[in-house]
Structure 1
Amino acid sequence: MHYLDVAGLLAYFILLGYIGYRSIKKVNSSDDFAVAGNRIIWPVLFATLAASFLGGGASMGRAGQAFDHGYAFMFAASAFPIATVLTGIFIAPRLKRYIGAQTVGDIMEYHFGRYSRLITGIFSLIFCVGILGAQALAVGTVFNAILGIDITTGILLGMGVVLLYSTIGGMWAVIQTDVVQFLMLAIFMPVTLLIGVHEVGGAEALIARLPDGHFSIMGDYGPGMFLSLFIAFLLGETLVPPYTQRALSAPDSRHAKIGYTVSGLFGFLFYFVSSTIGLVAFILYPNISPDLAMPELIRTALPLGITGLVLASLLAVVMSTADSYLNSATVIFVRDIYQGFINPEVDERKKLWIERLMNLLIGAGAIVFALYATSIIDALLLSYSLWAPTILVPFVLGVLLDLKCSKSAIGAILAGALVTLVWKWGPWPLADVTGLSALVAGVSANLLTFFIIYHICKSRRGKLHTVNDWARS
């Protein structure tokens, strides 16, 4: 890289450190660290939410899948922005009814009792560390592709910066850096696409040089595989802790609704941009690894002085997701597990210091996960199987229908987890025999168990009321 490009990259890292330093003055309590004092208006909520979910999977992962399968993966993954828009309209505004809530566990406890909070905290923590590990792997991949640094060193360098500003400034630093990262993303990813399309001779030349299958809705996926992917992205990240935390950071339901919905609409545009970058790379560099499609285009096709800025924007995409999951995992541990079950009387000052310490420890755990992950998308899909079959169904039913039954929620979570584990890692090839993915099987078991137990409990309560009325008479 030219020294101008290196200077642009260094300027980006210096800016992140400065934001973290400035943010420490705003973090005086655990509420500031966790939800930024509930003062995130909708334009900022839109920017930070979009920056959070458009991470390594949505950028390099989607570009890599488009490199291999064409637009088919984009069509399957479009389930996520669909889910985000629906969540923004129907669920995000309702989350502001829970006064003082900071985590999914807070809301689960309101509907399903104290132990549902503990189970939710454990599964949420594992899920967040898994997604964080995928983003750490993406950071290392960027450094490897652009600077030639080995992936392990790249992971340590990039995640070191994330740990620095997120530990110092908490949610305030995360949101401010997310806004900066979103602006870089919105400017430089389309610029990269336009330059890449020019390199292949224009849009018509790109279309003419691509295989026909790269434009089909399902590509070389079979119907079962396409449907499994669609459902995985429809449910896998819906209302996950960092995104729920964003809605809870809004001042009221209106800001939560608009910010959440607009970010989902933006997701459709970004998915098209990142997928088309993968197609451009397929034409220009047919022999590279798919995960390197976007970094390779940035490294070789962009003009002098722009490469460093676009590299910074690519790192921004990944790091904005990493910092969100890191902050969320920390808040989950401290609020749902430590304060909820270990030391309920912890004071605010000590709680804030514990959050900062856990931020460092959880970040270290995610780095270890990243060192053993095989690919960005594989890491994401593995993590998705920990969320949708366990927490999502009871959480959504509680918020939408105001259901309250601790046994139904805990039973559903455990049933969903068990079925998913057996389906995915059991001795029998159940996915091949039934045609159902582990995620679909787990979600189905979760939903069925929830309603069976709920109706049993409801029936028993009805009989008890009848007996009591008879006794009083």
Structure 2
Amino acid sequence: MNPLIPITISSLLVILISGTFALYIGRKHGGSNEEWAVGGRSLPVYVVIGTQFATAMGGGMLVAHVGIGYASGWSTITYGLILGMGLLILVLISGWLREQGFTTLPDVIKKIFGAHPLLSGLTVIMTIIVPFGWVATQLVAFGSLLGNITGVSPSLLMFVLAILSLIYILPSGLTSIAWTDFVFGVGMLIMTVISVFLVINMAGGMGEVVANVPEASWSFPGGLGAVGSVTIVLWTLAILPGTLTNQMYYQRIYASKNLKNIRISLLSTAVIILLVEVWAAITGMSIYSMNPGLANPEQAAGWFLQQVPTWFLALYAGFIIATIMSTVNSGVQSVVVNLTRDFYQGYINPEVGEKKLLSLSRWLSVAVIAVAYVMATQFSGTLNWLVATYAYSAGALLVPIFVGYLLRNKAFLTVQGGMASMIMGLLGTGIAHAMNTTIPYVVFGIGLSLVSLLVVSFFTKNNESAMKGEAAVKEVDQVGS
């Protein structure tokens, strides 16, 4: 049987069921911009867990992580531990984030350093580039994976996904996305269980896998470091900053009902991610047992899908759609919140009404997905571009957010220090990137950002205190008159 037929049927069923659910949620919760931006700040804990997991999963887990398992066995778990560490750090500041009633990352910077157009503008740009990069790369991953299986043009597949994603975004933004992510997340977990049993069976059982896979990959805990200590350090320097400055994680903190739910959701998400990394490791090693001669480990998932029965291929196609769709939806919604709340409402029309802001959010969602589609079809180096967006965003934002959080009550930080930290973080990242350093170039940006924040804040704190004092005197005089 032509695999295109069952794949099409499976995909349509996934889209029909989840799309209908998204429209239902939209009718029930779609009348408020608060629902659009942060899920009404009332999402149940199981929904937050589902959307955190689905957002983190992405197309990379289906390709790159199985490839890591193929080449380096249990090292995928190490990757998951590093990502989980980032989520645990977010737990530490989650109480403060939630009680402040933030909507976006620029709100955090504004709270710490005060309002300033240049500082806010830089923050918005650095916040937007990561989720936008996610959208473009997920479109590419979708077109590549299903294009290889079905023979359909990747550009056409990406266009279809871009159009379909609007079904989940437009009804009520984060609210409809989070609820459908929960459905997607449950489906993903079920599919990982089915697929791991199938791949082990195809490989002849775990005994056969252990016999055929190199000892360095299979041994435990030794296999956790099979990828090499240098790579683990590089992972840490890349993954942690990217996780800690990704607005999509922050939005789900804002969307939880209360602090207890936030902590439960982040910890649960970290555990689920580790379990999925176990799946990626076993899947990768099983594929290695069957075919150890692949030139590129990232071909492992694609090769496996060419060997499986048609019924499984159809199910896996639905799995691919759910995994990638959830990340695309979250990325678009995150970008739109920055454009509407931080740019339009913040600078262009502060008095905009709720209804107009919601309508603008929907129109901008269409525009963002359209631009991402064009980028995905025109630029082949999308993955490298995504890595760069993570680096530049973290280089600019990590220090102002976290060092700023630690020093927020010390009367030390200044707006000038915040701007210098962000600008020099970008500059340091850019110079190291141009020099093609072996150490991740984001490290140089973070280091320069930290020094700039402390030095400039030290030399400008007296001036800023004087300015605040003068402003307070003027306010008192105005009240007295």
- 1:105 matched to 2:102? The reply is no
Gaps of 5+ in 1: 467-473
* 1:346-373, Cα deviation, whole Å (9 max, x unpaired): 2111111111111111112222332355
Paired with 2:114 and 2:466, the residues of 1 have a C-alpha distance of: 22
- 1:140 matched to 2:149? The reply is no
Equivalent position of 2:152 in the other structure: 149
Paired with 1:374 and 1:229, the residues of 2 have a C-alpha distance of: 23
**Code of the aligned partner of 1:455:** F
Cα–Cα, structure 1 residues 451 and 177, in superposed 2: closer, same or farther, change >3 Å?
same
* Length-normalised TM-score, structure 2: 0.87
Q: 2:430 aligns with which of 417, 421, 428?
A: 421
- What root-mean-square deviation, in Å, do the aligned CA atoms of Structure 1 and Structure 2 show? 2.5
Task: Specify the SS of the correspondent of 2:170.
Answer: helix
Q: 2:257 aligns with which of 242, 246, 251?
A: 251
Paired with 1:151 and 1:277, the residues of 2 have a C-alpha distance of: 25
- 1:395 matched to 2:401? The reply is yes
> Shift in Å at residue 188 of structure 1?
0.5
Are the aligned partners of 1:417 and 1:442 in contact in 2 as well (CA < 8 Å)?
yes
1:47-446 equivalences in 2 (<5 Å): 47-72=50-75, 74-76=77-79, 78-88=81-91, 90-99=92-101, 101-114=102-115, 115=117, 116-215=119-218, 216-219=223-226, 221=228, 223-285=229-291, 286-287=293-294, 290-301=297-308, 303-372=309-378, 374=380, 378-403=384-409, 404-425=413-434, 428-429=435-436, 431-432=437-438, 436-446=439-449
* 1:204-254, Cα deviation, whole Å (9 max, x unpaired): 211221234435444464x44431222101221224111100100112211
Cα–Cα, structure 1 residues 266 and 77, in superposed 2: closer, same or farther, change >3 Å?
closer
Equivalent position of 1:471 in the other structure: none
Cα–Cα, structure 1 residues 342 and 361, in superposed 2: closer, same or farther, change >3 Å?
same
Are the aligned partners of 1:127 and 1:383 in contact in 2 as well (CA < 8 Å)?
yes
Are the aligned partners of 2:414 and 2:464 in contact in 1 as well (CA < 8 Å)?
no
Which one is further off, 276-285 or 34-43? 276-285
- 1:43 matched to 2:42? The reply is no
Cα–Cα, structure 1 residues 152 and 204, in superposed 2: closer, same or farther, change >3 Å?
same
Paired with 2:80 and 2:257, the residues of 1 have a C-alpha distance of: 31
Paired with 1:423 and 1:69, the residues of 2 have a C-alpha distance of: 29
Cα–Cα, structure 1 residues 290 and 224, in superposed 2: closer, same or farther, change >3 Å?
closer
Gaps of 5+ in 2: 470-481
Cα–Cα, structure 1 residues 461 and 118, in superposed 2: closer, same or farther, change >3 Å?
closer
Paired with 2:466 and 2:344, the residues of 1 have a C-alpha distance of: 39
Task: Specify the SS of the correspondent of 2:100.
Answer: coil
Which one is further off, 10-19 or 274-283? 274-283
Are the aligned partners of 1:45 and 1:246 in contact in 2 as well (CA < 8 Å)?
yes
Cα–Cα, structure 1 residues 465 and 365, in superposed 2: closer, same or farther, change >3 Å?
closer
Paired with 1:330 and 1:461, the residues of 2 have a C-alpha distance of: 33
Task: Specify the SS of the correspondent of 1:444.
Answer: helix
Paired with 2:382 and 2:205, the residues of 1 have a C-alpha distance of: 30
**Code of the aligned partner of 1:104:** L
Equivalent position of 2:24 in the other structure: 22
**Code of the aligned partner of 1:182:** G
Paired with 2:362 and 2:456, the residues of 1 have a C-alpha distance of: 40
**Code of the aligned partner of 1:410:** M
**Code of the aligned partner of 1:406:** V
Are the aligned partners of 1:141 and 1:292 in contact in 2 as well (CA < 8 Å)?
no
Task: Specify the SS of the correspondent of 1:250.
Answer: coil
Aligned residues: 456
Equivalent position of 1:470 in the other structure: none
Over the matched positions of the two proteins, sequence identity in percent amounts to 21
Paired with 1:401 and 1:57, the residues of 2 have a C-alpha distance of: 36
Are the aligned partners of 2:212 and 2:289 in contact in 1 as well (CA < 8 Å)?
yes
* 1:394-445, Cα deviation, whole Å (9 max, x unpaired): 11233344255222221111111111111112xx44x14xxx3201111111
Are the aligned partners of 2:237 and 2:440 in contact in 1 as well (CA < 8 Å)?
no
Cα–Cα, structure 1 residues 464 and 105, in superposed 2: closer, same or farther, change >3 Å?
closer
Are the aligned partners of 1:57 and 1:380 in contact in 2 as well (CA < 8 Å)?
no
Task: Specify the SS of the correspondent of 2:174.
Answer: helix
